[in-house]
Each structure stands twice: as C-alpha cells, then as structure tokens.
Amino acid sequence: MISHISIRNFAIIEELELNLHPGLNIITGETGAGKSIIIEAVSMALGSRADTDYIRTGADKATIGIVVETDDPTILAQLEDLGVPADSPVILNREISSASRSLCRINGQIVPLSSLNNFCRKVVDIHGQYDHQSLLDVEKHIDILDLYGRKEISPLLLKVQDLYHRLSASRAALAALKKRLADSERQKDLMRYELSEIEGAAIKDDEDEQLQEDIKLMQHSEAIYESLALACEKAYESDNSSMSGLSSALAQLQAAARYSKDITQAAESFADAYYALDDLGRTLRDLRDSINFSQQDLDDKSERLDSIERLKRKYGGSIDSIRAHARELEKLLGEVENADAEAQQLKEEISVYSAAYEEFAGELGSLRRQAAEQLSKAINEELAELNFKDAEFSVLLGSCPPGEKGSDYVEFLIRTNKGESSKPLAKIASGGELSRIMLALKRITAGLDGIPTMIFDEIDAGISGATAGVVGQKLKSIAKQHQIICITHLPQIAAMGDHHYKIAKVSDEISTHTTFVPLTSKERIEELAALLSGTTVTDAARKQAEELLKRSS
C-alpha cells in the first residue's frame, strides 16, 4: 500500500506531504483545489510520460516521491530482477526538470521509465483518465477472465503453457535442423572432398618441421660434407692431426705421473678429455659418411612440404587446425547421414505435443466460456446496482493463433444504452463510466489480482442519490482487501471513508499553493455538510452529515 506521497513544485502544488492508510481513503475539495493534479502527479511517479508543463512556475524541476509498504515476495522479487535493492518500504521517485530530463528511481537507484512503469503496474492501479487503466488493455482481459475462473482454469492453463513451450522448442529445433541440413546438403560433396584430401595426406605429428630441417640439410649437404671432412682430417686423420699431438702429450703425462700425485690427477683428467674427443671423432666420421645428397630425395621432400603447407593455408594454418577441420567435417557429415532419424523424432514430438496442446487448449476454451458467462452475469448485476440500468457487459471469445495462453481471444464489451451494439471498453468516452465498470469488476474479483492499491478518480461522474450510496458501499467492501484512494465530490461516497482528507487551494498576493489536511470527526461533519448544502452550511446539512456517517460506520 501507499503510505506516503511527497510532491514538490508540481503545477499549483508547491510542497505537499500526504500520509495515507489502509482501507478507504477519501479525498474531497473544491473544484480547482488540485485533487486531480495529485492523481496526475502520482501517475507520473508511477511511470506515465513526463510533461514539463506541470513544473511549477519559477521552479527548475518537479519531484514526486511515493513510499510503498509491501511484504509481497512477488513484488520484492521483481525488484531483484531489476537489480534494485529489494528493501521495504519501496521508495519510488520521479524528477521532471525544465531541461526536459526525467529521472526515475526505485530505492535510490536510477531505472529506465519502462522498468518503473512495469514495476508499478503490480503495485497501483489508477482508474480514471490516466495511463494505468488495465481495464482498457485488451491483452489483459484474458488474464482478468482467467483470474476470475482461476480455480478451474489455472491447472489447465499451466498444462497449456508447458505444452506450448515444449511444442515451440521442438519446432524451433526442427527448423534449425532443416536449415543446418540444407546448408550441409549443399556442401556435402565439398565436405567429402576435403575430408578425403586431409585423410589422404596422412600427415604425421610435426612432419612439417622435420621436413623443413631435412630440406635445409640436403640443400647445404656439399658444404656440410666439406666442413665435416676437413674437421676429421685436422683433428684425427692427418699425420699432424690434433689427436696425434694429444696422444703424445698423454703418453708424456702418464710417464711423469709415477713421480707425483698431482701429475697423476692431471694425467687422468687429460685422459678423460682425450677419450671423449676420440669418441667425438667417431661421431663426426659417421656424420660425414652419412652425407649422401640425392636431388630426387630433395625434390620429394620439397613436394611433400609444399602439399602440407597448402593444406595448412587452406584449413587454418597448422597441422592441429587441419585435424580439427577434419573432425568437424566428420561431425557434419555424420549429422547429415543421421538427419532423417533426428528429424523424424522431432516430427513425432511435435505431433504428440500438438495433439495434446489442441486437446487441453480446447478444454481451456470451454472453461473460459463458462467463466465468461458467470463473469458477465455477476458484473451486470453490479452495474444494475450502480445505476447502469440499460447497460450490458459481455465477454467476447474468439479464436487466435495458438500461444502460451491457449488459442482464445478475449475482449470485454459493453452496451451502455438500449438499441446500441456492444462495443469494446476502450471506446467508452466517459472516464466515470469506465471507473464504475472497473469498480464492479473489482468488487467481484477483489483479492484475486494481487494489486494492493487502487485509485479512483471521477468514479462519481453522472451519479447521485441512492446510486452514490451503492458506489460508496462497494468501495468500502473492496477496501477490506485493497487500499483505496478515492477522489469524490459526493457526500454519500465520502461518508464511507475510513480516512478523510481535504484539499484546499490557498492564495496570497504572490502565489497559489495547495494544502492537504486529514480531517477530524468534527471537521469531517463540516466537510460533508458543505458537500450536501454548498457554500452555506446549514444545521440541517450538519445533521444529515452526521446521519450519513452513522449509517456508514
């Protein structure tokens, strides 16, 4: 429920603080005092389009704040979905500046206007000439009907929704499969050729690197042979080779080793180095003798490397990418080959889901027709009591493309005068008539929609006397389950309020501003008497006001 409203520099309102309570909150005041301006301000705070014309003259911006008390987990969960702290009370704030900038905040965090609007639809419903008229939203009519018949409809609706989602998923999967297969079918021959090309190449791990090394060696084989041969000759094979000199040196050291331990150690180290070099000599000779240049071998290896490089350029730049491409080709070709079985399975799923959906959607339509008859009858009884004697409310049920709510189209129609045809509610011109129709609907569905606060403006347009008393009684009845804020000029309705506030316009030589005052019991009698008798309050009017209050208590 709304516990507090704060308005700054909005139209003729300079500064206004409104503390509201559960139950039926009545607002009265003279014409032009600002009653509807308050509703306009609240409407903007709840997410309607901003209008800079409402900024008070001389001010840079207008601000409206609303405090919403709630412990509804659905509402708090919606805050979490918006990324807003799920704190209670919920603080809504709207700022409209003369620079045409509008800021929306929930619990201090800036949110888009659309997010504010969607959130507030779960919190407050305004009925009158304003944006929050859920009754005029044809897409909501099916929800209202389902809400009315929820006991029978809800279980079946859940089945229909589940089947629709399953059916949609299977159809989407089949469509995606067909598209994928169509693309794959066109590419099938190419894929087979590429796979054959890769498999035929039979590339080994790191083969490209080994080929590059072999080719490099073969291309420089003559120079390598000459270098190895000369090294072997100088070190090992000539009469004056290095190893020959080292052999003589080793013999001399070994001869002198018997005279000194230090020389013995030096001789042993020298011998180790000598034999290591001797072993290396055999390795160098083997390398020299292995150099056997063949132009054919060079050509073969070069051709093999060219083939591998071409496949690398074609399939991703490396041997690993070539193999990855081959695996993907095998997968795609496998899908093509197994596609018929997968498609058949999806078609069978679609057939099963479709048959079940049609069956349950048909049953859902039957339940809705029953609920529509009951709802129409109940609302027409309410409208008769609300002085819509010639009015007839009806629910139009038609067919629409299958969706998650079934295949029924639902729209509320009304005939307000004899001889006229029924028309959509959206075509009703009078905001007062629309408010009373909503009042009838809310009287029947009170407590079902989960919206905690309802605001009625112009609900008393075109009625008086006994009808006004009935409207007041119905408002009081709804207020047992909803917080009601009602602007009225009829004493019969005002007397039903649990709380009564008066709006007054005060002017001085400089400016005009609006005040909002909760009335005491005595002040309430005076206000009701003024509504009964006009500008001059008589004792008779006071007695009548007291009687109205007694009857409403």
In this structure, what CATH number is given to the domain that contains residue 490? 3.40.50.300
pLDDT tens column, 347-371: 999 999 999 999 999 999 999 999 9
Does the pTM exceed 0.85? no
pLDDT tens column, 109-128: 999 998 998 888 888 887 75
Classify strands 512-518 and 499-507 as parallel, antiparallel or unpaired.
Answer: antiparallel
How many CA atoms lie within 13 Å of 483's alpha carbon, on the beta-carbon side?
A: 19
Decide if pLDDT at 522 tops 60.
yes
Residue 509, judged by CB atoms within 10 A of its CB (0-12, 13-18, 19+), counts as exposed
DSSP label of 425: G
Query: Could you tell me the CA-to-CA distances from 206 to 180, 212, 215, 385 in Å, in that order?
Result: 35, 10, 15, 92
pLDDT confidence band for 377 (50 / 70 / 90): very high
- Position 549 scores a pLDDT of 92
In a domain, 281, yes or no: no
What is the residue range of 33's domain?
2-123+451-518
In a domain, 456, yes or no: yes
Q: Rounded to 5, what percent of the chain is helix, strand, coil?
A: 60, 20, 25
In a domain, 78, yes or no: yes
In a domain, 490, yes or no: yes
Q: What angle do CA 444, 92, 70 make, to 5 degrees?
A: 50
Quote the CA–CA distance of 180 and 495 in Å, as a whole number: 71
In a domain, 114, yes or no: yes
Overall domain count for the chain? 1
Helices then strands (H, E): number in the chain?
A: 16, 15
In a domain, 421, yes or no: no
Quote the CA–CA distance of 344 and 181 in Å, as a whole number: 14
In a domain, 303, yes or no: no
User: Stretch 376-400: mean pLDDT, rounded?
Assistant: 89
- Position 132 scores a pLDDT of 41
User: Stretch 202-217: mean pLDDT, rounded?
Assistant: 87
Is residue 19 within 8 A of residue 6, CB to CB? The reply is no
Decide if pLDDT at 429 tops 70.
no
Is residue 277 within 8 A of residue 283, CB to CB? The reply is no
Decide if pLDDT at 54 tops 80.
yes
Quote the CA–CA distance of 128 and 28 in Å, as a whole number: 16
In a domain, 88, yes or no: yes
Average pLDDT, the chain: 86
**Nearest 5°: phi and psi at 261?**
-65, -40
